[in-house]
Structure 1
Amino acid sequence: MDTSKSRRGFIKIMGIGALVTATSSFAARRTTKTVTLTDEQKDTLFFIFQEEKVARDVYITLGKLYPEESTFASIQLSEQEHILSAQVLCERYGVDTSDVNLSLEDDFIGQFELHVMQELYNQCIELGQVSLLEALKVGRLIEVTDIDDLERAAEGMPSDVVNTFENLKNGSLNHLAAFEAAISRES
């Protein structure tokens, strides 16, 4: 057995191991860096969190009203993921969401901590009860609003928040396309 080849193989493996360890250690230091948000930025995180709940709850309610339209059912599942993504950010930055009940039980659908979100939910349901077409237009309006709000909310935020908001925005763009297609079918 050629010991120089074995030694080179061993050194190569150890070098790769050291590189992986160093890279992991560097990445860990980078990701554990504490960033402090201003109170305004924390309020923005909570607002986005609640806005995602509005979307989900409106789609649940309108989906029950118009069970023949599958767009509401499929998008409400995605909105649940959006809520969870926003909740992770809130937890990471010390924004209390404990008073927000995310239960899917009827008693908690459409219940909001922020007055403006309660009003938004109520208005969306009122408009959506007019007809299926109006309900789909409500969905379109929610997604357009979400996209605009996410773009504004990302300004000045740390990169992890910006990345999450970008992912949420991409989801909202997909939802918008789904509502546009459903509106075209219904018109």
Structure 2
Amino acid sequence: MKQVTSKLFFVLFTVISYNSFSQTANLSSQEIKDMKYMLEEEKVARDVYELLDKKWNLRVFNNIKQSEQRHMDMMENLLNSNKISYQFSDKRGVFYNKELQKLYNDLTEKGLKSKYDALEVGKTIEVTDIYDLEKAKKLTTNSQIKDVYSKLIFASNNHLRAFSRNLSKFQNQ
């Protein structure tokens, strides 16, 4: 009986390991790279909006920073479901990707100048997110990844409209 249990455990372990490996193995290095990048890019948006919300106390930043956290959660779930290891800093404004670190630094510097500049930064972030998500979506055939990217594109378009509405109020004053 002990031998049968051991063999059963071995077979089960092998199947689980194979399924875990095959999920990740079916993804290209580009798909994996894009998912990790999108997680950190969503963090840039959340972190910038948190800072600008504290500085300017505009409702649009408070609402959208919460949405950006959900976007990060979606990307983390996508990475986890595909058994992809990743890292990102828990500290606000700290990024492993040097390009995203520079983006965060530049955007926060501009956004802290005025409310108008802060709203322009929001618009810039959403345009950038949409562009990067659409590019990454074209580079995958995985339906799960495409679905998440589509949802994020839809949300980013809503955010872009919100920032544009708020900017138009400033321009009409």
TM-score band (shorter)?
A: 0.7 to 0.9
Number of aligned residues: 149
**Contact conserved, 1:42 with 1:93, CA < 8 A, in 2?**
no
AA aligned to 1:115 is: K
Q: Which runs of 5+ in 2 are unaligned?
A: 1-19
Structure 1 runs (4+) greater than 3 angstroms displaced: 32-35
Shift of the alpha carbon at 1:57? 0.3
CA deviations on 1:60-95 (whole Å, 9 max, x unpaired) are 01111101x111000000000000001111112233
Q: Indicate the structure (1 or 2) with the bigger Cα radius of gyration.
A: 1
Partner of 2:111: 128
Q: Distance in 2 between matches of 1:78 and 1:41?
A: 23
Pair 1:160-2:144 in alignment = yes
Q: Secondary structure at the match of 1:111?
A: coil
Partner of 1:171: 155
AA aligned to 1:101 is: S
Q: Distance in 1 between matches of 2:139 and 2:74?
A: 19
Q: Distance in 2 between matches of 1:34 and 1:56?
A: 29
Partner of 1:86: 75
Partner of 1:101: 89
Aligned residues with identical type, % of pairs: 34
| TM-score (ref. length: structure 1) | 0.76
More helix by share: 2
**Contact conserved, 1:55 with 1:79, CA < 8 A, in 2?**
yes
Kindly report the root-mean-square deviation, in angstroms, between the aligned alpha carbons of the 2 structures. 1.5
